[in-house]
Structure 1
Amino acid sequence: MFNSKVALGTWSWGSGRNGGDQIFGNHLKQADLQAVVDTAMAAGLNLWDTAAAYGQGSSETLLGNCLQKYNRSDYFLSTKFTPVFASDGEDAVDQMLSESLKRLHTDYVDLYWIHNSDDVEKWTPKMIPLVKQGLVKHIGVSNHNLAQIKRAKEILNEGGVELSAVQNHYSLLYPQSQETGILDYCHQNNITFFPYMVLEQGALSGKYNVDHPFAGDSQRARTYNPMLKELTALTDKMSEIADKYSVAVADIATAWVIQKGTTPIIGVTKKEYIADTKRATDLKLTQDEMTSLEDLAAKTHVNTRGHWEANMNK
């Protein structure tokens, strides 16, 4: 259904609440990001993921501006309805989507997500008219547990719409969606699984360790710096495998989730990262390497669940 092996994420773009400056300590400009988009599009990476919640719409604005020079049929847009930021009115979904469409300079979204599972019964039915009207091509749910995913699928099916995708936090360090059966359910029901935080906000990129921690006072630095010691054996093994294949360390984490039958969302902030991401789509790890990485990840005993994420075991 979705041809690209990876999606390019823009959570770290923009500024303000939930924006790249607060979460990641980034301060990215339009010109910097235009180079990222142009490099990605030239490489055939054209599936872009954003959300109205990222930087209070500023991520969508930056992405929309960068994509304006391209034909709409040449790229695939994924954005999100976030219940916690919705208005109280009956037209809350329509209103948020309308604002997203304006920022993205488009009259339709290829993939529209319910960003969290606050009220499956309330919000899921409101997706159906959007598909019927042609404003949205496909529907996905994000940060839902297995029971909520199944219920959302039932509601959509009753309205003649398919559940096309699931987007959850999934990485070597956070395998809950695998352990709880979500990944298997998606594979069995032709639902594309999009993992986010595959690189754990850079902690699995090979760029950070005890001697080179995240700088500044971003949320990312506060969360991951205390874990870096526990990650040493894992990231050392990732570096060893990366040297074997002459790829970046981050590519190992990306290749691992791809080989789990997923379409990872990889955050991109610099054009130099595009070549690495492209290489990861062709990288094939051996089963021994996959198992070794999983064993070392389990031994870290870290918990990288975000404060916004529900426990999928409940």
Structure 2
Amino acid sequence: MFDAKVALGTWSWGSGKNGGDQVFGNHLTQKDLQAVVDSAMANGLNLWDTAAAYGEGSSETLLGNCLKPYSRDEYFLSTKFTPVFASSGADPVSDMLNGSLKRLHTDYIDLYWIHNSDDVEKWTPKIIPLVKKGVIKHVGVSNHNLDQVKRVNEILNAGGIKLDAVQNHYSLLHRQSEDTGLLDYCHKNGITFFPYMVLEQGVLTGKHDAVHPFEGDNNRARTYNPMLPKLTSLLAKMAALAEQYHVAVADIATAWVIQKGTTPIIGVTKQHYIADTKRAISLTLTVNDMHDLESLADQARVDTRASWEQNMKQ
């Protein structure tokens, strides 16, 4: 249903609660990001993923401003309703959507997500009238397990609408959506699977290891630095494959999820990331490569499930 090979993520943009400064230690301006957007658009990468929750709307604001020079039909917008931040009004989904529309300078969203599975029975039906109104073109759910995804699909189908996408944490280091059968369910039912945290916030880029940990006092450093010594063998294998294929280490992690039949969301903060992403799209790993990477990832025995994520195996 979605032609793009990858989506470009903007979680690390913006500032404030759940923003790029607090989570990643980033401090990005519109000037910094305009070059990223321009390079992506010039290279045919035009599927942009954001959320009202990222930096309390500041990610959407930056993205909307950077996309202003382009015609609306030149790019595809993906943003989210996050139940935990719902208003107390009569229609919280519509309220949050309207804020996103304003910040993104548009009158419709191509793909609108229910950001977590707070209450499937409550929130899913509220999406249906917005799709019928035309302000939402496609519906997705994020951070839902297999049973919840099936229930969402039932509710939407009863309203004459199809679930088009699922967005969950999925990487070499976190494969619960595969282990529980959710990924297979999506493939069998024509639902596009969008993995996020494919690079585990930079862990799988080859730039950090036990000797070169993340710097600063931020969530990423506190979470991942203790894991780095356990990832030595995996990172060494990724570096060797990157050298063999003449690509960046991050491209190995991205190519792996693409070959799993998914459309990864790649966080972009620098212009050169666009060239890396293009290389990853064209890279084909062998069956042995895939097996070796998965085996080494399993041997590391790290748990990268984030605080907001449910255990998909429950």
Q: Does 1:59 align with 2:59?
A: yes
User: Shift in Å at residue 90 of structure 1?
Assistant: 2.2
| Matched letter for residue 219 of structure 2 | Q
Which SS does the other structure have where 2:204 is aligned? coil
TM-score where L is the length of structure 2:
1.00
Q: Does 1:117 align with 2:117?
A: yes
Whole-Å separation in 2 of the counterparts to 1:89 and 1:312: 31
Which SS does the other structure have where 1:171 is aligned? coil
Q: Does 1:284 align with 2:284?
A: yes
What is residue 46 of structure 2 aligned with on the other side? Answer: 46
What is residue 27 of structure 1 aligned with on the other side? Answer: 27
1:1-51: CA deviations, max 9, x gaps? 111100000000000000000000000000000000000000100000000
**Runs of 4+ that moved beyond 6 A:** none
1:257-272 alignment, distance < 5 Å: 257-272=257-272
What is residue 141 of structure 2 aligned with on the other side? Answer: 141
Which SS does the other structure have where 1:141 is aligned? strand
What is residue 76 of structure 2 aligned with on the other side? Answer: 76
Whole-Å separation in 2 of the counterparts to 1:231 and 1:277: 23
| Matched letter for residue 111 of structure 1 | L
TM-score where L is the length of structure 1:
1.00
Whole-Å separation in 2 of the counterparts to 1:303 and 1:95: 36
What is residue 232 of structure 1 aligned with on the other side? Answer: 232
Whole-Å separation in 2 of the counterparts to 1:115 and 1:87: 15
Which SS does the other structure have where 2:59 is aligned? helix
Whole-Å separation in 2 of the counterparts to 1:90 and 1:259: 43
Whole-Å separation in 2 of the counterparts to 1:90 and 1:111: 23
1:142-188: CA deviations, max 9, x gaps? 00000000000000000000000000000000000000000000000
| Matched letter for residue 19 of structure 2 | G
Please list every run of 5 or more consecutive structure 1 residues that lacks an aligned counterpart in the other structure: none
Which SS does the other structure have where 2:13 is aligned? coil
| Matched letter for residue 130 of structure 2 | L
Identity %: 74
User: Shift in Å at residue 211 of structure 1?
Assistant: 1.3
1:1-314 alignment, distance < 5 Å: 1-314=1-314
User: Shift in Å at residue 88 of structure 1?
Assistant: 1.9
User: Shift in Å at residue 89 of structure 1?
Assistant: 2.1
Which SS does the other structure have where 1:230 is aligned? helix
| Matched letter for residue 43 of structure 1 | N
**Aligned positions, number:** 314
Whole-Å separation in 2 of the counterparts to 1:78 and 1:95: 17
Whole-Å separation in 1 of the counterparts to 2:204 and 2:249: 7
Whole-Å separation in 1 of the counterparts to 2:234 and 2:2: 31
Which SS does the other structure have where 1:18 is aligned? coil
1:230-285: CA deviations, max 9, x gaps? 01100100000000110000000000000000000000000011000011001000
Which SS does the other structure have where 2:148 is aligned? helix
Whole-Å separation in 1 of the counterparts to 2:154 and 2:298: 34
Whole-Å separation in 2 of the counterparts to 1:237 and 1:79: 35
| Matched letter for residue 256 of structure 1 | W
Cα RMSD over matched residues? 0.4
Please list every run of 5 or more consecutive structure 2 residues that lacks an aligned counterpart in the other structure: none
Larger mean CA deviation between 89-98 and 294-303 belongs to 89-98
